[in-house]
């Protein structure tokens, strides 16, 4: 499921801009506005999507419906040219796409339970990044042979395969109380804690702030690398940018595997610190050379940081919300916070590039990443192997009888 959904969950992604420019001959400003509308719609839907996963039991059906909606919003593009209609369809697809992350996490937690959740999320992200790499290679090769429209056929095929994979998961294997972070073996802990109490969890608030800073620093780095490549090697800029994406995805595979294999033994914090430390190092290394080989090599570090971060975040959220019944809505809320950081990142970097150049932009992003690293150092370890139930209940500071 993770392998095939990798090409579906983000819609056309970067290929949307390429298609609208090459086929519909849109102006860059219109393309950017459509992508902004879709991004804002997704940002607003993150937390409700998590809340939905906490409440419903038809998780497989929601994943299937979301996959169909995302794909339909993209397959409609060859037949529509109106800005308003394109913006609406892409916004619908973006909102549907917010379901995938909490749904996959909920299904995984519901099947495996909290003790095996770190290993399962490591495997999830391993297959997700492998799917992204394979899809990118197929899209690049098929688009070279058949033009930009080929990505639609590829996405449709991946959607059908992902639906088949989802339906192969036995519905009865999912413990829906466990999937939302309740201890299903404890008959007294049957009611979720008050969502308001999540705001009083200091560790959770610190983690959300760190995530926002992380993505504020990270989101603009690859686009800046692509712009530098277009200046130094205009003819190869697209190919080299695609190579950056594929290379980073391939590095994310062993990084995610490491999280799955060692997060329980080493704890969450050492891995989290490693992911955050790599980001300022990348920002400092980029200005040292404009050579394509150097930029591509530094971009490989993105695979390490993002690979660890993507696999580890749901695991830490599970630690912090275990016993509260608010796992998925919390994951959605934190995703919305770091999505906000990612949304501001390109604009901030663009302003700095315009007035001070690329080197200043990379160093500024590195400074933001360094602040995120310093803050995350204060985040306590969240993994406590096999604690007594009474300790686990107290550690949440969110009793199950605090209200619905």
Contact 292, 240 (CB under 8 A): yes
Neighbours of 329 (CB within 10 A): 27
Coil, helix or strand at residue 385: coil
Give the dihedral of Cα atoms 333, 98, 64, 90; nearest 10 deg: 160
User: How would residue 233 be classed by pLDDT, with cut points 50, 70 and 90?
Assistant: low
- Report the alpha-carbon distance of residue 322 to residue 193 in Å, rounded: 10
Residues 6 or more apart in contact with residue 158 via CB below 8 angstroms: 4, 5, 6, 7, 8, 135
**328 within 8 A of 198, measured Cβ to Cβ:** no
Q: Can you give the pLDDT at residue 7?
A: 82
Domain covering 197-388, topology? Growth Hormone; Chain: A; (1.20.1250)
Render pLDDT for 12-50 as a digit per residue (tens, 0 to 9): 666 676 667 767 777 766 776 777 788 888 889 999 999
H or E, element range at 107: helix 100-112
CB 307 within 8 A of CB 321: no
Domain ranges for the chain: 1-179, 197-388
Report angle CA 241, 219, 238 to the nearest 5 degrees: 15
Q: Residue for token digits 């490491």?
A: 258
CATH (residue range 1-179): 1.20.1250.20
As a whole number, the mean pLDDT across the chain is: 83
Domains 1-179 and 197-388 share a fold: yes
**How would you class 397 by CB atoms within 10 Å of its CB: exposed for 0-12, middle for 13-18, buried for 19 or more?**
middle
Cβ atoms 221, 302 nearer than 8 A: yes
Average pLDDT on 64-85 reads 88
Which residues lie closer than 8 Å to 351 by C-beta, 6 or more apart? none
Cα separations in angstroms, 111 against 107, 175, 189, 241, 390: 6, 6, 19, 38, 24
Nearest alpha carbon to residue 336 among 41, 34, 2, 14 = 41
| Cα 252–Cα 258–Cα 264 angle in degrees, nearest 5 | 140
Q: Which pLDDT belongs to residue 392? A: 38
What pLDDT band is residue 303 in, cutting at 50, 70 and 90? confident
Structure tokens, 105: 């996490």
pLDDT of residue 17: 66
The pLDDT tens digits of the residues spanning 112-170 come to: 998 899 999 999 999 998 898 888 788 777 767 776 677 778 888 999 999 999 999 99
Two tokens, residue 192: 């979720």
Instruction: Please give the pLDDT value at position 29.
Output: 67
pTM (predicted TM-score): 0.80
> Distance between CA 271 and CA 256 in Å, rounded?
11
Residue in 361, 121, 47 with CA at minimum distance from that of residue 227: 361
- How many residues belong to the chain? 404
How many CB atoms neighbour CB 44 within 10 A? 15
Q: Give the whole-angstrom CA distance, residue 201 versus residue 209.
A: 13
Smallest Cα–Cα separation from 197: which of 397, 344, 404, 401?
A: 397
Closest CA to 93 of 78, 82, 77, 81: 77
Residue 223 half-sphere exposure toward CB, CA atoms < 13 A:
16
């Amino acid at each position: 499921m993770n392998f095939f959904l990798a090409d579906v969950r983000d819609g056309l992604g970067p290929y949307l801009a390429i298609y609208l420019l090459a086929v519909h001959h849109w102006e860059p400003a219109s393309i950017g506005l459509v992508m902004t509308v879709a991004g804002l719609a997704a940002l607003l839907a993150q937390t409700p999507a998590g809340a939905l996963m906490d409440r419903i039991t038809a998780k497989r059906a929601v994943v299937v419906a979301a996959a169909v909606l995302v794909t339909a919003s993209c397959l409609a593009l060859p037949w529509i040219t109106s800005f308003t209609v394109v913006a609406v369809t892409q916004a619908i697809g973006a909102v549907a796409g917010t379901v995938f992350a909490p749904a996959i996490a909920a299904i995984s937690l519901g099947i495996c339970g909290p003790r095996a959740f770190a290993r399962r999320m490591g495997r999830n992200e391993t297959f997700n990044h492998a799917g992204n790499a394979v899809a990118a290679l197929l899209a690049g090769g098929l688009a070279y042979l058949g033009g930009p429209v080929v990505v639609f056929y590829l996405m449709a095929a991946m959607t059908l395969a992902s639906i088949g994979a989802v339906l192969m998961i036995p519905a009865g294997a999912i413990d829906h109380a466990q999937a939302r972070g309740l201890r299903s073996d404890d008959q007294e802990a049957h009611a979720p804690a008050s969502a308001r109490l999540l705001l009083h969890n200091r560790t959770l608030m610190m983690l959300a702030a760190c995530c926002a800073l992380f993505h504020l620093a990270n989101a603009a780095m690859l686009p800046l690398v692509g712009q530098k490549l277009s200046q130094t090697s205009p003819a190869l800029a697209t190919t080299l940018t695609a190579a950056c994406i594929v290379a980073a995805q391939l590095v994310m595979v062993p990084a995610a595997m490491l999280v799955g294999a060692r997060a329980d033994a080493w704890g969450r914090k050492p891995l989290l610190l490693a992911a955050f430390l790599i980001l300022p190092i990348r920002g400092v290394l980029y200005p040292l050379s404009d050579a394509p080989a150097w930029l591509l090599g530094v971009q490989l570090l993105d695979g390490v940081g993002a690979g660890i971060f993507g696999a580890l975040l749901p695991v830490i959220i599970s630690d912090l919300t275990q016993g509260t019944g608010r796992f998925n809505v919390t994951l959605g809320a934190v995703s919305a916070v770091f999505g906000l950081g990612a949304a501001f990142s390109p604009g901030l970097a663009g302003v700095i590039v315009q007035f001070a150049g690329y080197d200043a932009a990379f160093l500024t992003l590195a400074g933001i990443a360094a602040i995120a690293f310093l803050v995350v150092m204060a985040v306590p370890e969240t993994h406590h192997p096999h604690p007594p139930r009474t300790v686990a209940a107290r550690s949440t500071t969110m009793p199950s009888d605090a209200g619905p």
